[in-house]
Chains A and B, each alone.
Chain A
Amino acid sequence: GDSVTQMEGPVTLSEEAFLTINCTYTATGYPSLFWYVQYPGEGLQLLLKATKADDKGSNKGFEATYRKETTSFHLEKGSVQVSDSAVYFCALSSGTYKYIFGTGTRLKVLA
């Protein structure tokens, strides 16, 4: 069945460092891919999405490119801030109403 694998955390970075959180997926067909962010004590918020191969989703300085050849959707940000500290979830939806989530990666950014 469909699955999402993302790198385990926690990831600890200094402010202004470069961020990469890896996400790979297994799916039949052509899934839509999402990154969600969860701040402490809150639900998940959509960060960005991509619906087809080579699409690049971007928001708030975060980017991810839908790579069909490597079945990946890695999240990147050029310069992280303390306010980016949160848990990040990679997810896919492949044409049904079932959404598959990764286990989440906790990011901690130090001032």
Chain B
Amino acid sequence: DVKVTQSSRYLVKRTGEKVFLECVQDMDHENMFWYRQDPGLGLRLIYFSYDVKMKEKGDIPEGYSVSREKKERFSLILESASTNQTSMYLCASIPGQANQPQHFGDGTRLSIL
């Protein structure tokens, strides 16, 4: 069974800090995603990666960057955290073909004070 592991379940950081959220998947999936989930807004795509070192912006990339140095690991970086980035962050992966169901991690609930 596919396992997507996010490094932290809960994280509290301060405004202006550089924040790293890590995601690892164990099924050799080519494609990985970062979403943020906010009440009433559903899931919004931040970034998507379709291969090592390859990335595409999603719907809300501002204030975020990503890194994919190894196939199994996809990192989300908040360059200078702000309070409006307080949210639940979800990582997901799928194998090479499109239209496959996504496999999600348990999420990181991030609070920026």
A43, A89, A94: which has the most chain B beta carbons within 10 Å?
Answer: A43
Number of interface residues of B (CB under 8 A): 25
Task: Tell whether, in the assembled complex, residue A103 and residue B42 are in contact, meaning their CB atoms are under 8 Å apart.
Answer: yes
Chain B interface helix/strand/loop/mixed: strand
Contacts of B42 in A (CB 8 A): 89, 101-104
Indicate which residue in A31, A41, A46, A101 contacts B101 across the interface (CB closer than 8 Å).
A46
Contacts of B103 in A (CB 8 A): 46
Contacts of B4 in A (CB 8 A): 43
Task: Tell whether, in the assembled complex, residue A89 and residue B99 are in contact, meaning their CB atoms are under 8 Å apart.
Answer: no
Indicate which residue in B43, B100, B107 contacts A101 across the interface (CB closer than 8 Å).
B43
Task: Tell whether, in the assembled complex, residue A89 and residue B98 are in contact, meaning their CB atoms are under 8 Å apart.
Answer: no
Chain A interface helix/strand/loop/mixed: loop
CA distance A97 to B43 in the complex (A): 15
* Residues on A facing B (Cβ under 8 Å): 31-32, 34, 36, 41-46, 49, 51, 89, 93-99, 101-104
Contacts of B33 in A (CB 8 A): 99
Task: Tell whether, in the assembled complex, residue A44 and residue B90 are in contact, meaning their CB atoms are under 8 Å apart.
Answer: yes
7 CB-based A-B contacts, threshold 8 Å: A41-B106, A43-B6, A45-B104, A93-B99, A98-B45, A101-B42, A104-B42
